[in-house]
Each structure stands twice: as C-alpha cells, then as structure tokens.
Structure 1
C-alpha cells in the first residue's frame, strides 16, 4: 500500500510540474505577444507623428520657397535663396522618415548593432536585479512616509 501511495504521489507531482511548466510557457508567450502588440502600436504612433510633422514642414517649406523665389525675382540676389538650403535638407529628411524607407534602414542598422556591437548595448549600472528593485521600492515607501504631501515620481 505504501509503495502504491509513493508512486501515485510521484505521478501527481510530475503532472503538477508539467502543468506548471505549461502554464508558465503560456504566460511568457502571452507577455511576449502583449509587448509586441504594444511596440507595434508605439511604432505606428511614431510614424503617424512623423507624417503629421512632415505636413507642417512641407507647408512651411513651400511657403518659404515661394517667398524666396519672389524675393529673388525682385532683388536678383542669390542670398535670398540661401535659407532654402537647410530647409531642403530638413524637409527631405522628414519626408524620408514619414514616407520613405528610412525606418527600414534604421531597423537594419539596429540589427547590425545588436549582432556585431553588443558592447554598445550595456545598461548603466548593469541589468536591474530583484534586490535593486526592492531597494528602490523601499526607498520610495520611506520617502512617502517622510514626505506624504510631495508628489510621487
């Protein structure tokens, strides 16, 4: 009877371990998917911001272009066209970021850095540990006790 009980406990323990491992795997996969979807939304938001900014830069550039050409036609001095040089670069950069393949080039460069220049990716003070997180939490609790009316950061 004791031997059957021991074998049955071992089987239950093994099944519980397998179940916990499967649940942890599902949990991690869900977290990865959540982070990916959040990242995709943030990237889409940044692209939308770039496009909106491009509309403003483009409008400013066109107004400046018309004004500079009008001033050049009246005064016949090349210096009136000089502001168009930096404005052209800024507008072209913004157009490339908003509608060109600049984001793709940035991703390729980021992949290159991750593969061949890992030393550039180090965090200041290294990777946070459970102890450093707990210490920060305790310091924040202590600050809250000492200064309850100050806004929390």
Structure 2
C-alpha cells in the first residue's frame, strides 16, 4: 500500500515539476517578447525623432544657405559660404539617420564588435555575482547601522 502511494506521489511530483518548468519557460518567452517589443518601440521613437529634427534642420539649412549665398554675392566675399559645408554634413547625417541606412550600418558594426572584439565588452572586475552583491549589501547595511 505504501509503495503504491509513494509511486503516485512521485508521479504527481514529476507532473508538477514539468508544469512548473513549462510555466517558467512560458513566462521567460513572454518577457523576451515584451522586451523586444519595447526595444522596437524605442527604436521607432528614435527614428521618428530624427525625422522631426531633419524637418526643422532642413528648413534652417535652406534659409541659412539662401542668406549666406546672398551675402557672399552682395559683398563679393566667398568666405560667407564656408558655414554651408559643416551644416551640409549635419543635414546629411540627419537624413541618413532618419531615412538612410545609418541604423543598419550601426547594427552591422555592433554585430561585428560582438563577434570579433568581445574583450572590449568585459565589465571591470568581471560579471556581477550574487556573492559580490551580498558583500556590498552587507557593507552598506553596516554603514547605515553604525551611524
């Protein structure tokens, strides 16, 4: 009788462990999907922000270019055209960020760094461990209780 009861309990415990494992896996998958969705939303906001900046900077660049060109022609000083050069670099960068392939190139470069330059990504003193966190917590707790 005890053997049958023990066997039944073992089966129930095994079923419960499988259920808990499946539940943990499902929760992790949901968290991963949610984190990726949040990342995509943040990236979309960054791209939208860049496009808005491009609109305003494009208007500023156009007005500035017209007035600088008019000033250079009126005073016969080509030096007035010099600010157009750095402003055009900024305009090109904003366009590339908002509508071009800058984000894809950045992603490719980041993937290359992750693959070939892993040593540059290491944290000082290595990965944080539970023991190091507990040690810091105890020291901080001592500091507050000593006062």
**TM-score using structure 1 length:** 0.84
Q: CA deviation at 1:122?
A: 1.7
- Superposition pairs for residues 1-153 of structure 1, below 5 Å? 1-133=1-133
Distance in structure 2 (CA, Å) of the matches to 1:51 and 1:134? 46
Distance in structure 2 (CA, Å) of the matches to 1:34 and 1:81? 50
1:64-104: CA deviations, max 9, x gaps?
Answer: 10011101110121101001111111110111001111111
Kindly report the root-mean-square deviation, in angstroms, between the aligned alpha carbons of the 2 structures. 2.2
How many residues align? The count is 147
Q: Which runs of 5+ in 2 are unaligned?
A: none
Distance of aligned partners of 1:133 and 1:48 in 2 relative to their CA distance in 1, 3 Å threshold: farther
1:35-84: CA deviations, max 9, x gaps?
Answer: 00110111111111111111122111111100111011101211010011
The alignment partner of 2:126 has SS state of: coil
